[in-house]
Structure 1
Amino acid sequence: MRLRQQGIGLIELLVVLAILGILASVLLPGYQDHVLKSYRAEAMQALLKVAGLQEMLLVDQQRYSADLTELGFAAKQFVTESGRYKISAVVTEQGYQLRAQAQQAQAEDKSCQVFLLNNYGQKSSEPASVCWSY
């Protein structure tokens, strides 16, 4: 009487591990790229919020402010909730320009390092110019 072998063998286990390794190497970079792109919305949202507050300040005090504490933030420049973008403002005679600079893990998003928004509602980004259309 011959006993039937139970379980999986070493060769089968190695084949499964090889398949999992190949899948991970193909899928992980795409997933990481998707995560970086999804955080771009955080920069856009923060800039639009600050722009709205700048316009409220203009209505109340007939001026814009480069100091974001005047708009209710804790510091002159602030970091978004996730820590992925630093938000700052520059005020000129013509108006303001808001800037969201990628930092920490978001600095890996090489095509969209900086988001810009001015008082005319013009949106741009650096180095690629298509980041707002995501």
Structure 2
Amino acid sequence: MTNVKKLINGFTLVELLITVAIVAILTSIALPAYTDFITRTNRTEAQRELLRLANLQEQFYVDTRKYTNDMKKLGLDKDPFISENGYYSIDAELDNGSFVLTAKALGTQKTNDSSCPSLSVSETGKKLPASGCWEQ
């Protein structure tokens, strides 16, 4: 009878720990970048809706010769208007025959986007804040 060694294939504990450490490092680098990307992508929803609602305000003005702060009069279902994915609440403020539409971040968007918690656009097309919150 001969002594036959059986080969056992597998990973050692050290190899497994090194792999877990590499994955953890890659995740710690990628996750903040991914979160920032998602936050900026969600912000474009507010920008799109602000410009669309500004157009609706102008149409309303052509019809009635005044602006409105009631989003329902613009044909929307809620006042204040909640964006499609629920990341922003949009409302209008009137001042001496002009309007300013403001989108305020909600929920996780508010938490993740502390540099731009709100975006605004006026009847003249002026976008606020101007420092990096609006995509060019």
Do both share a fold (TM > 0.5)? yes
Is 1:17 aligned to 2:16, yes or no?
A: no
Candidates 79, 82, 89, aligned match of 1:79: 82
Q: Distance in 2 between matches of 1:58 and 1:46?
A: 18
Q: Residue 133 of structure 1: CA displacement? A: 3.1
3-state SS of 1:133 partner: coil
Q: Which whole-Å deviations, capped at 9, do the CAs of 1:95-126 have from their partners, x for residues lacking one?
A: 1000000110111211111101000000012x
Q: Which residue identity lines up with residue 26 of structure 1 in the other structure?
A: I
TM-score relative to the length of structure 2: 0.91
Structure 2: how far apart are the matches of 1:26 and 1:80?
31
Q: Which moved more, 1:76-85 or 1:64-73?
A: 76-85
* 1:9 CA displacement: 1.8
Quote the residue 2:54 is aligned against.
Answer: 51
Corresponding residue of 1:35: 38
Alignment RMSD (CA, Å): 1.3
- Select 1:109's aligned residue among 102, 113, 121: 113
> Which residues of 2 match residues 87-102 of structure 1 at below 5 A?
87-102=90-105
Where do 4+ consecutive residues of structure 1 move more than 6 Å?
Answer: none
Q: What do the CA deviations read for 1:5-47 (whole angstroms, capped 9, x no partner)?
A: 3121222111111110111111111111111011110000110
Partner residue, 2:125: 121
Aligned position for 1:133: 135
Give me the whole-angstrom Cα distance separating, in 1, the residues matched to 2:68 and 2:94: 6
Please report the TM-score for the alignment, with normalisation by the length of structure 1: 0.92
2:63 corresponds, among 46, 60, 63, to 60
Calculate percent identity across the aligned residue pairs: 36
Q: SS of the residue aligned with 1:91? A: strand
